[in-house]
Amino acid sequence: MGKLLEEIKQTPIRTGKPPRKIDLVLEKLNKQDRADLLEAINDHSISPSVISRVLCNKGFQITRGAVQRYRGLYES
């Protein structure tokens, strides 16, 4: 696959809405950290405040509310 095609396939569609902050964080993490963050988000025994605090300590500006909203997207 050429570089242009790869870039086209990896470019998200613009929906008119800004991307979710968690999605922006996930894009910047390595594979293991991304898996760890998703596991933490899906583990409701881990408070959104703790997730937010750890991510802030790593340089990401994210609130507990952003974590809660992301969790709410995938709850049944």
Domain ranges of the chain: 19-73
Q: Residue type at 71?
A: R
User: Residue 75: which pLDDT band, with cuts at 50, 70 and 90?
Assistant: low
Q: Tell me if the pTM is above 0.75.
A: no
Q: What pLDDT shows up at residue 64?
A: 95
Q: For 11-63, how does the pLDDT look when each residue is reduced to its tens digit (9 = 90+)?
A: 877 777 788 899 999 999 999 999 999 999 999 999 999 999 999 999 999 99
Q: What pLDDT shows up at residue 70?
A: 92
CA distances to 1, 4, 16, 28 from 34, in Å: 25, 26, 25, 8
